[in-house]
Amino acid sequence: MVPLTGVSAADFACQDFDYLIVGGGTAGLAVAARLSENPSLSIGVLEAGPAALGEAAINEPGRFLETLGTKYDWQFETTPQAGLGDRTLVWPRGKVLGGTSALNLMTWNRGSRQDYDAWEELGNRGWGWDDLLPYFKKSESFHSPEKETQSHNRQHIDYKATGTGGPIHTSYSKQYPITHQLCHDTYVSLGIDENKAHQAGSNVGVWTNLSTVNPETNTRSYSASAYYAPIAAKPNLFVLTEALVKNVVLSHEDGQLSATGVRFAHAGEEFVASALREVILSAGSIQSPQLLELSGVGNPQVLRDAGVEVKVANSNVGENLQDHLMTVSVFEIDPSVGMPRPGAPACVVCYLPASTVISDEISKPLASKVQETEVSRIEKEGAILKNRFEADANLGQFEYIFDLANWNSNFKPEEGDDKMYCSMLQILQYPFSKGSIHIRPSTMVEADGSSISSITDKPIIDPGYYAGPHGELDLDVMTHCIRFSDKLCASAPLSDVVGSRVYPPSSVTSDDQLREWVVENTTTDWHPVGTCAMGGHGGINSGVVDERLRVYGVGRLRVVDAGIMPLQISAHLQATVYAIAEKGAHMILEDMVKRRELGEE
């Protein structure tokens, strides 16, 4: 296949790239676009999936679930999770130009100020809210709704915190079901504040969600269409699709181990592409650590078991995996409310602290249990996690999303059932559960008898849901947060149209019964982070990259994607990933200028 830029794999391998980016996904294409703004630089991007800019299933917002499990999806799965009754969970990730931004549900929001300030507290200078806000704004082009609809549809925005000239188009839905107003009013009746500045440093409260939809064309706005397509003809930008990177080439230069290029496969042939300045891994939270390990950077035991030569020993590679855990309660609803027209999910979103959701009778002993449990080997990190559970912590410990659909795959109405259902999604934002992603032990035998693991072997994904004493805390919290959904749906005016809870079944009432249901029904919200985390104060003893996103122990190699996040945030990820990419590109160019000033190049 000839890629969009018209360059063949052989020609790509012959180019002298200044910067070589592995992964043409959410972050990778954003980084490439910003680096290419300097016409003196040559930028190469290798993407394992195809280009699909004309794919209707991607571009049409109402078809957002159709691409899952297709050729555009890596179709990853977790290991059987003991905390989930030995169930495995499907983990979709984008295998297409644009990455997961081409597959996601287009939700656009940010975490609270404290989420990003926590990264800086861990020693990662320049990663607090004030530092990141300019990059959030730089990535975004917000389309303001008509004034007459703003108040009626509860569409509020703080224009000082919103971008208007960035590549990614964000907008509110043009149409809402009647339950949109009813749900808002019910939250308010329960004492929940309406958040009219949910992009400005606090997402706590109830508000109307934004989506990455261009309202002028009614199409998904994602990294391939927004960052790449407008500049695809640039002479200094080369993108090769369906190119599977096998590992990073590490060489000794001036007494230091440095990244000089990558090995990749294309159409059954193997090639080597070179980078004169840097290799940038933007393969995501799953495959950036996988590629580091396949390149010899990681836990020595993991590498030896996989038949990979140890070049840099760092036991943090692939560790620190954090994900958002989700359960979905299903209720009957009056069919007269109707169904919304197909489009990006237009939902009422609410983020609440644990102290608001869980009764004092339960939250106080639970908070004490949190304080008594060792939740992290890093003292400062443990303190941050525990402080998020304090009664005065005004942070979104839980996200609640009400929607007119049955979102629980375990609830299957009987044949002939003509009832209409709605769902309440309950999503834990600050999990204590942590896991890992690692390459598999040797599965291939070479001609000389040696064994090695390969990029074609899917990594071992073990999120550790509800595992260990700290994971037990998550299970406790998820069990109790379901009762708030019951309370909301039983309160006016939402109760005027929402009927009885059907899943969990109405017979499930005790804490023990709910706990069992949570184990059987918890799933992922597909927000993995942390597997190549910034090390902060602890450096290589605590993480994989420094605050400039440079891999410890290897020159000329960076990671720029969600994997660098040391702690999970209370938000959907894509806006933050774009901000990371924007900031990462800025630092790369900044460091290049600094090296020139020092006469190092």
Q: How far is CA 432 from the centre of its chain?
A: 17
DSSP letter string, 387-433: HTTSTT--S-SEEEEEESS---TT--PPTT---EEEEEEEEESS---
- 96 touches 478 (CB < 8 A): no
- 528 touches 285 (CB < 8 A): yes
CB atoms within 10 A of CB 88: 12
Would you please indicate which residues are annotated as catalytic (active-site) residues?
527
Q: Which two tokens stand for residue 528?
A: 């993995």
Distance between CA atoms of 64 and 91, rounded to whole angstroms? 15
Separation in Å, CA 132 to CA 115, 453, 577: 11, 38, 11
Q: Which two tokens stand for residue 354?
A: 């644990």
Q: CA nearest 182: which of 423, 424, 397, 402?
A: 402
Sequence-ordered list of residues with C-beta below 8 angstroms from that of 469, at least 6 positions apart, any chain: 373, 374
Q: Which two tokens stand for residue 506?
A: 């109405």
Say which residue the tokens 């996988």 belong to. 290
3-class state of residue 571 by DSSP = coil
Distance between CA atoms of 598 and 549, rounded to whole angstroms? 20
- DSSP letter for 66, please: T
Q: Which long-range contacts (CB under 8 A, 24 or more apart) does 408-416 make?
A: 408/328, 408/329, 408/330, 408/503, 408/521, 410/503, 410/520, 410/521, 411/330, 411/502, 411/503
- For residue 91, list its beta bridge partners: 76
DSSP letter string, 310-330: PSEE-TTTT--BB--EEEEEE
